Amino acid sequence: MPRGVLQYDSLRTVLQYIEANKRFCLSQRIPAIHFPEKAVPLKIDYLRFTDLGVNINSTIYQLSLYRDFHQGEEVVDSFQKENDEDCGGLNDLDKFGFQVPINRTDLVPGEVVFGQVINENRNFEPNDRPSFPKSHQQNDERMRRYYEKHLEIYQIALMRRLEQGDPEREETPTRAFPWMIRLFTDDELLAMAGPVRQELTEEELEEKLAVFTRVPTWYLEMIITLLRYCLQPFDCRHNNRPLPFTPLIQLTIKRKDQVERIERYPYTMKLHEAMRKLSWLMFGGRTSVVHVHKFSFRLRNVVLRNPEGLKIRVRDLWLDENMNGRLEALGNIIDESSYPLEVLTIFNGEEEEVDPFAHPVLTSVPKLILEGFKPDDMTLLLNLRNEKVFFKYWEDFQTFTVDDLLLFVQNILAARSPVGVRRSFGVHGEDLIENFLNQVVVQFNEIRRDRTAGIPMGNYSYLKVFYKGVLTSVREDRPQITRWYVTMTVVEASLD
């Protein structure tokens, strides 16, 4: 066999066992393996797309816009934190520095739109956390005055503070990003054509300055710098000044238990075009179906910048509300070989427009996980014929009652459900579960053993009912809480 063919086949064999993110990295660094890498089926454990990013296994790729301020420009820590740690800005910029919402209407074949593609509020809304104004606000006189007049009065307050001395000056917090105190009404802004000192009486000025009596000096300095940022686009537009920074496209790569990596590129394309390019580098040109174990599609409004022809075979699908609409949107992406799924997790909306429980994708899946809002009609849940169903309705008003749980017991017994059928419920409080198990013993004349009760069903099977508590963390900075689960499962009866 020719040596070249052997090398190529060996490479294909090795690539099959390399983790997806490492394959992407190797393909970019070694051009010679680019085509073999695209030809070998790609396997991914977890996949999630966003407007400007993608999660693959334990790695997150996030695109954003970074402002590289020119030498000599003052940049306060809080704004630099927003620029660096929060992945920069998720908007494009025009030539004056006004923010432009990412384009969700420019589509090419293969890309998928879900939800609202135009989601921009063009009404004037004062921002209590000063940020760069939007492009549609560049002619908004009230917006410009909002920043301009507040800058003036904050500067007056700081000047007085420094003139009077500041013996108890506090250090600036390392992670401060303060809220701004709003001092002018909309009517006052529209009426103020001149400087603050001219437009306000001495009494009105003193009344507004009194608000700053107890605020620290660092707060005044920080808000002043932030307001100057906000006025920069107006200044660049009206006075034809260059931007005080160079905009760059930033790619942030976060890997679990590793140092975050940041790459920056010239801003020669819009962010949605950069996302299109990133998606192509990862998934474009693949000749076989991408194997994805778990695929999450939960954003309410998103454009998936998938290259044309991308097909994924999914085993575990996570969907948010409007399951029917989401499955329709994914129709050309999810390969038919995915069905029936192994696991389906759906978040029920408070008011679902279409009943999701009758969809064949849901009825055919052996393991179903339901989250969100419990439907008012309990028969929808009782009539589910999936082998395993996990109900995770955690809100207080959504929890299952003792009577609800007894209905499920009666339903399983009446249907003579086969071995393997399982229903698991998230419930609030051990007292409710104790009450439920005692009711099971009374109604079915059975013996309870600690946290378990069993009900014979005939045909060498019985219904095992038990519960357990699981410690879990809602947030890292809060103590763990116990979540309680009741499980009903049909098991084989012992022959002795």
Q: What share of the chain is helix, strand, coil (3-state, %, to 5)?
A: 35, 25, 40
pLDDT on residue 174: 54
State residue 263's pLDDT score. 94
| Residue 344 near residue 365 (C-beta atoms within 8 A) | yes
Task: Go through the chain and tell me how many residues it has.
Answer: 496
Nearest Cα to Cα of residue 341 among 312, 320, 309, 321: 312
Closest CA to 491 of 459, 450, 468, 443: 459
Contacts of 318 (CB under 8 A, 6+ apart): 294, 295, 296, 297, 298, 345
For the chain of 496 residues, list the mean pLDDT of each consecutive stretch of 10: 56 86 90 87 96 95 90 61 55 89 90 74 53 72 86 92 72 62 84 88 91 87 86 89 91 89 95 96 93 94 93 96 90 95 90 78 96 88 96 78 94 94 92 92 83 88 92 74 92 75
Pull the structure tokens for residue 271.
């962010």
In whole angstroms, what separates CA 367 from the centre of its chain?
24
Is residue 65 a contact partner of residue 267, using CB atoms and an 8 Å limit? Answer: yes
pLDDT of residue 10: 78
The predicted pLDDT at position 278 comes to 97
What is the pLDDT at residue 474? 66
Per-residue pLDDT, 478: 74
Strands 452-458, 448-449: parallel, antiparallel or unpaired by DSSP? Answer: antiparallel
For the whole prediction, is pTM greater than 0.75? yes
Residue 6 is predicted with a pLDDT of 39
